[in-house]
Chains A and B, each alone.
Chain A
Amino acid sequence: MAESALLYRVHERGWRSGMTNLLRKENGLWWNTRRWWVQSIVWYFILNGLVTLLLWIIPALDPGDSPAIDEIYGVFFQMWPITTIGVMVLMQSSVVSEKQSGTAAWIMSNPVSRISFILSKFIANTFAILIILVGLQGLIGYAQFSLKAKALMPMAPYLRAFGVLSLHLVFYIALALMLGAIFRGRGAVIGISLGLLVFQDLAS
């Protein structure tokens, strides 16, 4: 059982210990499974389905009853707060389920820092959520409006809106992970996140 000459020791130290392997696993949960395309389709119907209906299907069925693009544009942006709830649902069990099942304890018995354990989840989930929920759906929406208008929509306000939305989602991803690290139940994670969202809505 001699050490294989062709294998090299991993040299991650301090807070980075275990990061590469954990990041590979967390990314794999999104991109090596059907999760990424299932989520892409689900979020297409939630965010862009109504736009497709209003921009293309209704005008095709009844040409006299097509709403103005500006109105549909407004409807499109009113749909986006729902992504925050989507993030809460997607993230609620990320840490808690590992604590409940005991896999977190198994992971921590390896050369892994607590920071790596949480940060790998944060990086992989943020990356996937921003690509699937924001990037892809934003691009589909932009393409639909530009095709309908037969000209490219102004890019700058669009990017600004999605920039702010991305920051908002990143905050809730981080919050869900933090609450998951503190509490043992999913109820606390989703309850506190939702409470904050409602408070934010009422305060604004």
Chain B
Amino acid sequence: MDTLSEWVINTQNLSKTYKGVTALKSLDLKVPKNSIFGFLGPNGAGKTTTIKLLLGLTRPSSGNGTVFGQDIVQGNVDIRKRIGYLAQNPSYYTYMTARETLRFRARFFYYGPKTSLEERINETLKLVGLEGKADRPIKGFSGGELQRLGIAQAQVNYPDLLILDEPAANLDPMGRRDVLEVMERLRKYATIFYSTHILDDVQQVSDNVAILNHGKLVAQAPLEELLSNGDKIIYSLSLEGNTQNAAERVAHLSWVANLQTTHKNGTASWQVTVSDDRAAKADLLRIILGDENLAVTDFRRKKYELEEVFLQIVEASGQDLVKGAHDG
């Protein structure tokens, strides 16, 4: 077993076809150890299929993959010994209480004195804030409570890898915050691989991101790298007054690659794409303010939001797919 590998998950050309429909196409995914890896994509992109393949719950049509260096087809039972998994729509035995559910799952992994096992269960219940409801049948649990139980059962074996399929879906803002907090707390103990389409959450907790669209991996990078949007540097300004002369001057600067202007309610908004950040920092605002006919009400280096990058990538990949289909 390749325990020294830096990749917890590593797939090559992993593909899955269901009755002639391709759910996943040649996926090359690499998930580094101890990362919180956000696996993004629109509905039907193939996220859950990928997770099922990694867990050995379904077999790949072609390609291969490893988790902890073990083959996902041959070694899937051994892989699952080191994994905690929360499904998108999890189902548990409704006649069991939360405590019984955790006890049942823990016994797949551990045996030993009852007190030690109960200690582990109590600790896990506390982690997700379900101590007060531990002995209630889960039949009456709310969606948020079930999701907390889902995280608890995934965590009760102290997994090296947590796979969470849409962990914050169907939760209210408080529930989402709690789930993210739990993930943050678990970060130092395990690698967390989770699928979602709530991009705010990803931006808050993830350090690595992959984007899947129509079963194809369209981006994979550390979050910072993805948010830098290909090292494109853009300064964003709001101006009032006559901006025409200033715009001409800025557009002709050697380190300005592009200038986009829009006007609304007497305010001009500029997006200045620059090739030399140092020059822009030093001179851009000074040059603009040299014009006495205008006032600058806002000046900042544009920071990309994940949502913006995600939409750009997904839309571009969608156009490529359409083009590919027409060419084909």
Contact = CB atoms under 8 A, between A and B. Distances in A.
A19 to B, nearest CB: 10
Interface stretch (A48-56, A80-88, A101-109, A169-177): A101-109
Interface in A97-140: 101-103, 105-106, 108-113
Contacts of B55: 109
Nearest to A108: B57
A105 to B, nearest CB: 7
Nearest to A109: B85
Interface in A58-104: 101-103
Interface stretch (B39-47, B107-115, B174-182, B209-217): B107-115
A10 interface: yes
A1 interface: yes
Contacts, number: 74
Contacts of B115: 6
Nearest to A24: B107
Contacts of B105: 110
Contacts of A8: 110-112
Interface stretch (B19-27, B76-84, B239-247, B305-313): B76-84
A1 B158 CA distance: 8
Contacts of B113: 6-7
A184 interface: no
B104 interface: yes
Given A25-B104, A102-B91, A108-B57, A7 B112 contact: yes
Contact of B109 (A1, A10, A14, A102): A10
Interface string B70-107: 00000001101101010101111100000000001101
B87 A7 contact: no
B91 A10 contact: no
Nearest to B55: A109
Interface stretch (B117-125, B249-257, B268-276): B117-125
A132 B203 CA distance: 59
A7 B117 contact: yes
B299 interface: no
B189 A1 contact: yes
Interface string B44-72: 00000000000101000000000000000
11 contacts: A6-B112, A7-B113, A8-B111, A9-B109, A10-B109, A14-B77, A101-B91, A103-B91, A106-B90, A106-B91, A113-B77
Interface of A: 1, 3-4, 6-10, 13-14, 17-18, 20-21, 24-25, 101-103, 105-106, 108-113
- The 10 A-B residue pairs with the shortest CB-CB distance, nearest first, are A102-B91, A6-B116, A7-B112, A7-B110, A21-B107, A111-B81, A109-B85, A111-B80, A110-B108, A17-B77
